[in-house]
Structure 1
Amino acid sequence: MARLKVEVATETLRFAAPFRISGYVFETSDVVVVTLGDGMYRGRGEASGVYYMGDDVPAMCAAIERARPEIEAGPDRAALRDILPPGGARNAVDCALWELEAARAGCFVWELAGLPPPRPLRTTFTLGADTPEAMAQAARRDVSARSIKAKLTGELALDIARVRAIREARPDVWLGVDGNQGFVIDELPALADALKTCGVSLLEQPLARGREADLDGFVSPLPIAADESILSFAELERALGRFDIVNIKLDKCGGLTEGLMIAAAARQLGLGVMVGNMVGTSLAMAPGFILGQLCDLVDLDGPTFLAHDRSPSVDYRDGDIWVGPEVWGSPMAVAA
């Protein structure tokens, strides 16, 4: 492999409005953008890391700097999995390698991945936690949304009121909720029954990471998805018997290469597959869109929270996301 020039930039993305989940309120999101070039071609990758694991911008930059000599040597994507651990640093470098390889080959990333031409994907649009009335109003306002995911905070009675208000406001949409680790096992029967009554189709990460065994023997009336509980390929088997669906985020697992591996292995284990995102620009959503072609559920709405996105950008229309070849993953996207 040719030696690579490694450029690392950091950016602060500002939210259009404060965004609340269980235990956190976000107004900005810091990201790392890696550009790899060989003198003729280049590739890019964006990562925001995993905030609840301390995988922030300083940590990502430090990891890339430690691995800089090995990255500059031009590893392939398989070798990169041995150079960097799962997390945002590897995600940014891995996605840059995918785009660089596509530019060199004069093709699209989806072709490199052995996939058919991509199609628009139905994506969820996320409602940050707020009062039931405010969340219902937000659901009504986003008339184009066909799938909604509501953030909960672990306040059982209030969360149930939130879901009921959203469902009353939008009886037409697919509805899921994200507990963001806010509940304990003793609360799950009441929560799950109320969600089922409201026509909720998915309960994501109700318990804290590390409490997966608490789900042993729990029979849920609706599917439960693992997010924080399953970070990487190495942790996938802990989902068995506890979760129905695995939410793959490229920042967690370390890039599109490992994301595709998790999706294939999850299918073999009888698990459903979802692609999600940490907040990021269209550059961060584009690799997830490739993975989303293999998924049952898609949650790629990160740019909708931002005051400003990159240009060119992904297209949200009639509840779907579309990523054109000019955004990422083709020679067109990195043409000088």
Structure 2
Amino acid sequence: MPRSLEIKTDSFPIAGTFTISRGTKTSAEVIACIIRDAGSTGWGECVPYRRYGETTESVAAQLEAVRPLIEAGLSRDDLQRAMPPGAARNAVDCALWDVEAKRTEISAAARLHLAELRPLTTAFTISLGEPDAMAAQARANAGRALLKVKVGTGDDESRMRAVRMAAPGAAIILDANEGWPEHTLEHHLRVAADLGVTLVEQPLPAGKDELLAEIDRPVLVCADESVHHTGDLASLRDRYDAINIKLDKTGGLTEALAMKAEAQRLGFKIMVGCMVGTSLAMAPAVLLAQDAEFVDLDGPLLLAQDRAPGLHYAASLVWPPEPALWG
């Protein structure tokens, strides 16, 4: 039976709203790539991201363009050359991993020589809002081990202090999503250090982050929008202490694994993150994150309803995927 490709677009409502410095979302628009091969079916999910010029329409068009190659038997190695990094390639790459695991009955974890998969402590996101509203979100989740707090305005000190007061025992990652003006950078980093913040993510716009190489960084600083694939790493060594690897940026697990290995060789700490998607999108990232210093795979926790079957979440932990979901 020849290999076939199905492209499926879905919308999953977000529980409430999800707000960052660039705007608010009320739903997660995702595309699933379903590859059937020799009686087995593999799934991969991506989240088109407008920040990188992606829409559901443009990603679906990319997938249609490579349909003949996929159905002719395109390998994961060939895929890296056939498509650029981004959401579309991620969906195909993860579907190829999944269908290979199901066809051969050798799991993705076994192929990666991950003998013992473990549950991971994941961050939980606090959306950007007024300080009192953010404090209320933090208070409701103060029992979680790790909070990721969305900031990114010209004056975030009150937000940072309100969240820390509401969740005094939690480790905190601040994510500015490129939103801090240069003139506030050092002040915000000092406040973050005073409050015991663990990590600050992408404070300045990608391509305009030279200042990070010129100042004292009292808190670890992580690249997100500034880093997409392995080729970006070398130029960031003097600016960042950590990198955020997201499969929708790298274009799948295959490139993400190569990127992680090179980042570790260069001395970066590793964060494995996500867009707002379902458990299907998180599942391969859980394998990637097994030895990461920071994990942010809370996408399904932000949705009103996840896929079934989904990943198992309890308190601050996320468990590795069962084969029925992925891998």
TM-score, structure 1 as length reference: 0.94
The corresponding residue for 2:314 is 317
Aligned residue among 160, 163, 172 for 2:160:
163
Q: Distance in 2 between matches of 1:143 and 1:167?
A: 10
TM-fit CA distance, 1:38: 1.3
Counterpart of 1:230 in 2: which secondary structure?
A: coil
* Residues 1:220 and 2:217 aligned together: yes
One-letter code aligned to 2:201: E
Alignment of 1:260-299 (within 5 A): 260-299=257-296
3-state SS of paired residue (1:148):
strand
* Aligned counterpart, 2:255: 258
- Displacement of 1:76 in angstroms is 1.7
Matching of residue 46 in structure 1 with residue 61 in structure 2: no
Following superposition, the deviation at residue 328 of structure 1 comes to: 2.9
Show the counterpart of 1:334: none
1:333 is matched with: none
Query: In the superposition, relative to structure 1, how do residues 327 and 197 fare at CA in structure 2: closer, same or farther (>3 Å)?
Result: farther
CA distance, structure 1, for counterparts of residue 203 and residue 280 of structure 2: 29
Do the aligned partners of 2:154 and 2:184 also contact (CA within 8 Å) in 1?
no
* Structure 1: tracts of 5 or more residues without a match: 331-336
SS at match of 1:293: helix
1:77 counterpart letter in structure 2: R
In structure 1, how many angstroms separate the alpha carbons of the residues matched to 2:189 and 2:60?
41
Q: CA deviation at 1:236?
A: 1.7
1:205 aligns with 2:202: yes
* CA distance in 1: counterparts of 2:2 and 2:262, whole angstroms: 33
CA RMSD of aligned residues (A): 1.3
Q: 1:327 to 1:242 in 2, by over 3 A?
A: farther
Cα separation, 1, equivalents of 2:9 and 2:143 = 33
How far apart in 2 are the matches of 1:101 and 1:90? 16
Cα distance, 1:66 vs. partner? 1.1
Letter in 2 for 1:182: G
- SS of the counterpart of 2:291? coil
Q: CA deviation at 1:18?
A: 1.3
Paired positions, count: 327
Matches within 5 A, 1:23-102: 23-102=22-101
Within 5 Å, which residues of 2 pair with 1:122-133? 122-133=121-132
State whether residues 243 and 270 of structure 2, in contact with CA within 8 Å, keep that contact through their aligned partners in structure 1.
yes
Mapping 1:15-30, distance limit 5 Å: 15-30=14-29
- Structure 2 vs 1, CA of residues 143 and 314 (structure 1 numbering), >3 Å: closer, same or farther? farther
Whole-angstrom CA distance in 2 between matches of 1:236 and 1:56: 26
Q: Does 1:7 align with 2:14?
A: no
AA aligned to 1:222 is: V
Q: Is the 8 A contact 1:230 1:238 kept in 2?
A: no
The alignment partner of 2:35 has SS state of strand
Structure 2 gap ranges (5+): none
The separation in 1 between residues aligned to 2:9 and 2:235, in whole angstroms, is 34
User: Is residue 2:191 matched to residue 1:194?
Assistant: yes
Distance (Å, rounded) in 2 between the aligned partners of 1:245 and 1:185: 20
